[in-house]
Amino acid sequence: MTSAAAPGQRRCEVGTIAMIVRGQQQNIGALVVVVAGHGFASIEEFGPGPRLCWAVESLGGELAADNATVWSRVVPDDALQPVGTMPIGDIGAVFEQHTAALRCKTKADMERLIQTHFASPDDVGLVGAKRLLRERLRWLTASVTARQVLLDAGFVPDGNGGECLNYAFPDQLGRRCLLSACPDLVGDWGLFGSFHTVRTATQVNALLRAEMIRGAVYVRLASIWREVFDKTVPLPVEWEHATFYEAVKRTTAMANPGAPSVVVDTQFFRLIVNRLRDSYGVEPAEPVVISLVPGQLELRVGSDAFQCPARGTWPLPSLVSLADLLAAVPARMPRLLTIEAYGNSVLLGSTSIPAAWPEEQR
């Protein structure tokens, strides 16, 4: 990582007027104002690896970005050369000007696009196949109960008056198959499968949270199917949503590599959390420095350091409140827990914790 990306050596702050000095040729020399922090991000045109970035607004013409022109974009700190400052209150006027210009341009472009290139409303995604595709994506990314998805996927009540659900596999697969889903005391669902041939027997099990993204449930069902059957055996028709959702996730991952993050071993992390509660109480005021050492995530409180097996990328130490960290730890954690650095916060699973840079890094 370049030294300009380190918090103690960053060039800009919110309100800084700067010139773009790296990146696409048409943007070099453009004046922008920094409007917000963006955290670490990997942007191909500025080179490999995550860099500390800012959200900026152009003070001149539109900027080039991803084969388009925009008023707002994200630029790394080391690609900006500060030339002055702007009062925070004046930034709102810049947004208003750009919003008005964008509204006029969008309306004109849409009218010209429809008139020039599209023969029917279906071509602009208003009706027909394109709208169905958009609606399917919205349906798959909705958060719903696991039970509802299982019923949609062809599971039926087991007939014994209980809450368990069973899935009946086609007879022509050449195996005796049983896949059941049963809720536990907190509403999560356990999937239990038994698959037999003359010579083999396969047992599978999985856990679904009480509420999940619909597409993620279909992907989990598909993974069980592929674990048991040959790849040439197609998914059940009602499970084919998994293939579509997997393709969407792959495309999203390629377009947005994400912020620096690590995956930690939950059992070790839980032991560290319990040790911290025992040592510092339920609502401690001490700060915690989160950093990554080879193969380990380190939580340092004063002179005490706790390490947990982890993998991922964490470029610079982050400073969080120990009270915030302990409050964000879920009562039930998954087998692997993701911790992500995003802007001015750290995401512990899905919970955001305010974060800053340690004083020694400033």
Residue 104 lies in a domain: no
Q: In which domain, by residue range, is 43 found?
A: 3-91
297 shares its domain with 211: no
Cβ neighbours, 10 Å, residue 229? 18
Cβ neighbours, 10 Å, residue 361? 15
Over residues 108-162, the pLDDT tens digits come to 665 665 555 445 555 445 545 566 777 888 888 888 999 999 999 999 998 777 8
147 shares its domain with 223: yes
Residue 112 lies in a domain: no
- Give the contacts of 162 (CB within 8 A, at least 6 positions apart): 182
Domains in the chain, number: 3
270 shares its domain with 356: yes
Residue 178 lies in a domain: yes
Task: Give the lowest-confidence range in 12-21, 171-180, 334-343.
Answer: 171-180
Residue 99 lies in a domain: no
269 shares its domain with 339: yes
Q: Please tell me which residue, 95 or 238, carries the higher pLDDT value.
A: 238
Per-residue confidence (pLDDT) for residue 251, from 0 to 100: 73
For residue 283, the domain's CATH number is: 3.10.150.10
pLDDT, mean of residues 68-89:
88
- For the chain, give the mean pLDDT: 81
Of 59, 91, 123, the residue that ends a domain is 91
Query: 63 with 69: CB under 8 angstroms?
Result: yes
**Residue 352 burial (C-beta neighbours within 10 Å; 0-12, 13-18, 19+):** middle
- Give the contacts of 2 (CB within 8 A, at least 6 positions apart): 51, 78
271 shares its domain with 356: yes
For residue 15, the domain's CATH number is: 2.30.30
pLDDT, mean of residues 224-240:
81
Residue 109 lies in a domain: no
242 shares its domain with 278: no
**Residue 120 burial (C-beta neighbours within 10 Å; 0-12, 13-18, 19+):** exposed
Of 234, 255, 276, the residue that ends a domain is 255
231 shares its domain with 296: no
Per-residue confidence (pLDDT) for residue 175, from 0 to 100: 63
Query: 162 with 147: CB under 8 angstroms?
Result: no
Residue 11 lies in a domain: yes
The structure's pTM equals: 0.42
245 shares its domain with 305: no
285 shares its domain with 357: yes
User: Is the model's pLDDT at 77 over the cut of 90?
Assistant: yes
Per-residue confidence (pLDDT) for residue 226, from 0 to 100: 83
Residue 135 lies in a domain: no
Residue 42 binned pLDDT confidence (cut-offs 50, 70, 90) = confident
What would the two tokens of residue 237 be? 């028709």
Angstrom distance (rounded) from CA 32 to CA 94: 10
Over residues 79-90, the pLDDT tens digits come to 999 998 888 778
Angstrom distance (rounded) from CA 219 to CA 190: 15
